[in-house]
Chains A and B, each alone.
Chain A
């Protein structure tokens, strides 16, 4: 590959000269006789190779990042289920003792277990959420009472990981499951009473203490609500500021001051905005902690300077002839801006705004400051409910020492990156489709 680029650049370098005299190119490409020239050319090759290696390292890193997240995370999109022969006894259902029903059916599947510890191991094959699943079944079809049915129940996280790795033939024996559990799982797998299904729970649930039940719905909705607040606040404010500075303000020490101010704000570390949110929004205004309202308002400050700068650049790109033409036809200054300049600048503004939204979407640090690191199991209903966002959820799961959360973290990152890619693609589409080249 290096050879190829070497040749290409050499040809490019001498393309102009080569047309007139082919000898220059020839003599250059021939191996030089002089020792000092050989040395200089070796130096040249070394330098170029170093540059190429630098790029290669960056590529390799990107590849290993993607590969790592994918290989850790793809298994979270499937759920391990165990088929159990469940008898819905009316007596137990009346007493709301669904846990006993599950335990009975497990004991029916593997009879003859007396030891307490063995029993506990057996019962922990299935998810702790299993009783709720049975309850849902009964609520949906009450005629199942007093009948026997085969029901697929999600396995617990440790069993699930063991089974998945078993399936993918890297049978790593994790210390978390006992020898008898290994035997049971092998037995269940042999009799085809275990299966992998697409993990809808991951997209339908909020956070959970049980890794197999944890999902990203609550945090994703939290992210959207936060971004909504953020855009509602930053977009009008940022665009209005940029229009004023670019189209109306006369140049003075004051506009210079504002400009320096905004440019510096764009380079302030994001965590400082979290400190601001903590001391002003929470402490002085007394807004609710952990809410998407406060989160959005903090992120709005973060992207405000970015939007101002992007909008000013977009307005600057509109040629003055447009403004003169509109003014010559009798438009007032505000009409010139709002009917003409702004319309032409809109694609550029939108691209800038969408890219800044992507930035806000991936932001974590300031949200930690205002208490959005919370255990959120339900989708927040209003903007003042405690909420969390997708990147914060990634952070929370990454800190969870339980083995089952490793794949969940990587899977949540995959969801996060998918949103980032979608947002960026939207920006690219708008730029390609609507941008006007003057």
Chain B
């Protein structure tokens, strides 16, 4: 009997080890490919170069046969699209969370929250389709009307749709934070004559600030790693620009374009995708850890 017990425990431990091993393998495999990439291409060229053209020539004796791998335009593009996304998601998500947790009646909340959470469950490829088929033509027509020329694969389109996609995520995270602020705080504020909005702005939000900041950081991390919307709605050309009306490219788009299709595995082009992937992994990891630390360190302890 005791042996059987030990056996079960050991197999459970083995499963746990396997799970951990798998997580280790992810980092290791992506990291080793990245190292191989940097043995071909200098680190400084990748992180500070402003020219991205990974297409290698067919013959080695052709000019510019090696391709250049300056990732600055890609990181800028990722930054720009995520910034636009957060400009949509942060106010929408925060205001919606405040309205739902403070103002809305229980009945309204009961059906509005699940309906908004549908948005979070829609697969990202659907958002991509929506961006391409619906939003891009609308934005372009709108731009034409006021005399702006908007690229058909503009950062604005991709960012807006991505923002809508992140909104329910930011909303439900910050709603949890807002409703976990003790009621006694807002009652105290209301009792001395503050209006509801003054209570929110001056009491609830400051108390919930660490949680809200971490919710926004998690939203950013989502946006940085989002793939399908940008693959379908953002461009391929690596333009170094901060103009939201132009076409930009992101890290995820480049990974997809470099790796889809048959490639020999040893070319710089393929390895560049792993280097981008590792930077992406590292960035989201930092954002998530930052979100965790902010909540742990700055959370006010009530009760």
Given A5-B108, A362-B124, A271 contacting B20 (CB threshold 8 A): no
Q: Which residues of A are found within 8 Å of B184, using beta-carbon distances?
A: none
CA distance A267 to B133 in the complex (A): 29
- B224 interface contact, C-beta 8 A: yes
When distances are taken between beta carbons in the complex, the residues of chain A under 8 Å from B100 are 55
Task: Pick the 9 closest A-B CB pairs, nearest first.
Answer: A269-B225, A362-B123, A51-B99, A240-B15, A54-B95, A47-B197, A365-B227, A244-B12, A44-B195
Binding site for A on B (CB under 8 A): 1, 4-5, 8-9, 11-13, 15-16, 18-20, 22-23, 25-26, 29-30, 33, 91-96, 98-100, 102-105, 108, 112, 115-116, 118-119, 121-126, 128-130, 132-134, 164, 167-168, 171, 190, 195-198, 200-201, 218, 221, 224-228, 231-232, 252, 255-256, 259-260, 262, 265, 273-274, 277, 280-281, 284-285, 288-289
Are A358 and B121 closer than 8 Å at their CB atoms?
yes
For B88, the closest partner residue in chain A by CB is: A57
In the assembled complex, 21 residue pairs joining A and B whose CB atoms fall closer than 8 Å, in A order, are A9-B105, A40-B198, A44-B198, A48-B197, A51-B99, A54-B95, A55-B100, A58-B92, A69-B129, A267-B288, A269-B280, A271-B255, A272-B225, A272-B280, A275-B255, A279-B33, A283-B265, A364-B227, A398-B132, A409-B129, A413-B129
**How does the 8 Å CB contact mask read for A72-116 relative to B, with 1 for contact and 0 for none?**
100000000000000000000000000000000000000000000
A216 contacts the other chain (Cβ, under 8 Å)?
Answer: no
Interface residues of A in 211-254 (CB under 8 A from B): 236-238, 240-241, 243-245, 248-249
Question: Does A436 make an interface contact (CB < 8 A)?
Answer: no
Check B221 against A271 for contact (C-beta < 8 Å). Answer: no
A-side contacts of B29, CB under 8 Å: 275-276, 279-280, 284
Residues 327-360 of chain A, each 1 if its beta carbon lies under 8 Å from chain B, else 0: 0000011100010000000000000000000100
Q: Which residues of A contact B (CB under 8 A)?
A: 5, 8-9, 12-13, 40-41, 43-44, 46-48, 50-55, 57-59, 61-62, 64-65, 68-69, 72, 236-238, 240-241, 243-245, 248-249, 258, 261-262, 264-265, 267-276, 278-280, 283-284, 301, 304, 308, 332-334, 338, 358, 361-365, 368-369, 371, 373, 391-392, 394-395, 398-399, 406, 409-410, 413, 416-417, 420, 424
**Residues of B contacting A271 with CB < 8 Å?**
225, 227, 252, 255-256, 277, 280
- Of all chain A residues, the one with the shortest Cβ separation from B262 is A371
CB distance from A168 to the nearest CB of B (A): 18
Chain A residues within an 8 Å CB radius of B108: 5
Given contacts A51-B95, A54-B92, contact A275 B30 (CB under 8 A): yes
Q: A65-B126, A72-B133, A241-B15 are in contact. Are A57 and B92 (CB under 8 A)?
A: yes
Q: Are B284's CB and A58's CB within 8 A?
A: no
Q: Is the CB of A394 within 8 A of B125?
A: yes
Contact A279 B274 (CB under 8 A): yes
**A275–B129 CB distance below 8 A:** no
**Distance of A12 Cα from B108 Cα, bound (Å):** 14
Residue among B105, B115, B256 making CB contact with A368, cutoff 8 Å: B256
